[in-house]
Structure 1
Amino acid sequence: MASEGSIREASEAGNGRAELPYRLRQQALMGAFARMALQTRDLDALLQRASELCAEALGAACCQVLEYRAPDHAFVIRACTGLRADLVGTDVTAGDEATPSSYAFRTGAGVLANGIHPRSGQGKPRQGAAEPDGARLHLPEGLAPADICHAVNVPIALGDESRRAYGVLEAWGREGHGFDRADQEFLAGFAGLIGIAVERHQGDARLRDALDHQVQLTREMSHRVKNSLGVVAGLLRLQARDAQSDEVRHALEDAGARIATVAEVHDHLWRGIHQLGMVDLAEFLRELVAKLQEEAPGHRLACQADPKVISADQAIPIGLVVTELVTNAVKHAYPQETGPVQVALSVKAEGLRLTVRDDGIGLPPGFDVSMRQRSLGLKIIASLIRQLDGRLSTEESGPGAHFVLDIPLT
Structure 2
Amino acid sequence: MFKILICLCFVVTMNFDALCQVANHTVHLNEGSRGNVENQEKSVKEFTICQRKVTIMVLATLVIIAGVSYNSHRNIRKCNFEAQFQKIEIDEQEARLQRLTEERNKILRERNWLLKEVRHRVKNNLQVVTSLLNTQSAYLKDHVAIEAMSDSRNRVHAISLIHQKLYASCASDVDMNTYIKDLVTYLSDSFCTTQKGIHIKQVMDPFVMELEQAIPIGLILNEGITNAIKHAFDNGTGQITIRLILYENNQVLLTLSDNGKGMSPNFSLDQTNTFGMEMMKALCRQLNGSFQIENRNGVTMSVSFRLQKTKLM
TM-score (norm 2): 0.70
Equivalent of 1:285, from 147, 157, 180? Answer: 180
Secondary structure (helix, strand or coil) at the match of 1:367 reads coil
- The residue number in structure 2 matching 1:339 is 238
Task: Give how far 1:291 is off.
Answer: 1.1
Q: Does 2:166 align with 1:269?
A: yes
Secondary structure (helix, strand or coil) at the match of 2:191 reads coil
After superposition, the Cα gap between the structure-2 partners of 1:249 and 1:184, relative to the gap in structure 1 and judged at 3 Å, is same
Using the alignment, how far apart are the partners of 2:129 and 2:167 within structure 1? 19
Q: Does 2:303 align with 1:405?
A: yes
Secondary structure (helix, strand or coil) at the match of 2:140 reads coil
- The residue number in structure 1 matching 2:124 is 227
Q: Does 2:105 align with 1:208?
A: yes
- The residue number in structure 2 matching 1:238 is 135
Equivalent of 1:321, from 217, 220, 225? Answer: 220
- Deviation digits for residues 103-134 of structure 1, max 9, x if unmatched? xxxxxxxxxxxxxxxxxxxxxxxxxxxxxxxx
Q: Between the two structures, name the one with larger relative contact order (CA 8 Å, sep ≥ 6).
A: 2
After superposition, the Cα gap between the structure-2 partners of 1:197 and 1:373, relative to the gap in structure 1 and judged at 3 Å, is same
- Deviation digits for residues 127-161 of structure 1, max 9, x if unmatched? xxxxxxxxxxxxxxxxxxxxxxxxxxxxxxxxxxx
- The residue number in structure 2 matching 1:310 is 209
Letter in 2 for 1:404: S
1:96-115 equivalence runs, <5 A? none
Contact 2:228 2:258 in 1 (8 A): yes
Using the alignment, how far apart are the partners of 2:105 and 2:184 within structure 1? 36
Task: Give how far 1:388 is off.
Answer: 0.6
Contact 2:263 2:295 in 1 (8 A): no
Using the alignment, how far apart are the partners of 2:304 and 2:267 within structure 1? 19
Task: Give how far 1:339 is off.
Answer: 2.5
Using the alignment, how far apart are the partners of 1:9 and 1:376 within structure 2? 101
- Deviation digits for residues 342-400 of structure 1, max 9, x if unmatched? 2121101241111111111111112233x042211001111101101111113544x21
Letter in 2 for 1:284: Y
After superposition, the Cα gap between the structure-2 partners of 1:10 and 1:221, relative to the gap in structure 1 and judged at 3 Å, is farther
Q: Does 2:191 align with 1:296?
A: yes
- Deviation digits for residues 21-67 of structure 1, max 9, x if unmatched? x6xxxxxxxxxxxxxxxxxxxxxxxxxxxxxxxxxxxxxxxxxxxxx
% same residue = 26
Structure with bigger helix share is 2
- The residue number in structure 1 matching 2:257 is 357
Contact 1:236 1:252 in 2 (8 A): yes
Structure with bigger strand share is 1
**Greater CA radius of gyration, 1 or 2?**
2
After superposition, the Cα gap between the structure-2 partners of 1:182 and 1:379, relative to the gap in structure 1 and judged at 3 Å, is same
Number of aligned positions between the proteins: 241
1:8-407 equivalence runs, <5 A? 10=66, 12-14=68-70, 19=75, 180=77, 183-274=80-171, 277-297=172-192, 298=196, 299-350=198-249, 351-369=251-269, 371-397=270-296, 399-407=297-305
Letter in 2 for 1:293: S
Contact 1:305 1:344 in 2 (8 A): yes
After superposition, the Cα gap between the structure-2 partners of 1:389 and 1:8, relative to the gap in structure 1 and judged at 3 Å, is farther
Contact 1:222 1:270 in 2 (8 A): yes
After superposition, the Cα gap between the structure-2 partners of 1:316 and 1:11, relative to the gap in structure 1 and judged at 3 Å, is farther
**Unaligned ranges ≥5, structure 1:** 1-6, 23-179
Task: Give how far 1:333 is off.
Answer: 0.4
After superposition, the Cα gap between the structure-2 partners of 1:13 and 1:329, relative to the gap in structure 1 and judged at 3 Å, is same
Letter in 2 for 1:408: R
Using the alignment, how far apart are the partners of 2:135 and 2:65 within structure 1? 98
Q: Report the RMSD for the aligned CA atoms in angstroms.
A: 2.4
Task: Give how far 1:304 is off.
Answer: 2.5
- Deviation digits for residues 43-98 of structure 1, max 9, x if unmatched? xxxxxxxxxxxxxxxxxxxxxxxxxxxxxxxxxxxxxxxxxxxxxxxxxxxxxxxx
Contact 1:345 1:355 in 2 (8 A): yes
Using the alignment, how far apart are the partners of 1:332 and 1:193 within structure 2? 72
Secondary structure (helix, strand or coil) at the match of 1:363 reads coil
After superposition, the Cα gap between the structure-2 partners of 1:242 and 1:11, relative to the gap in structure 1 and judged at 3 Å, is farther
Using the alignment, how far apart are the partners of 1:226 and 1:317 within structure 2? 17
Using the alignment, how far apart are the partners of 2:65 and 2:275 within structure 1? 96
Secondary structure (helix, strand or coil) at the match of 1:295 reads helix
Letter in 2 for 1:197: E
Using the alignment, how far apart are the partners of 1:395 and 1:373 within structure 2? 13
Moved more, 189-198 or 376-385: 189-198
Letter in 2 for 1:282: N
Task: Give how far 1:213 is off.
Answer: 2.2
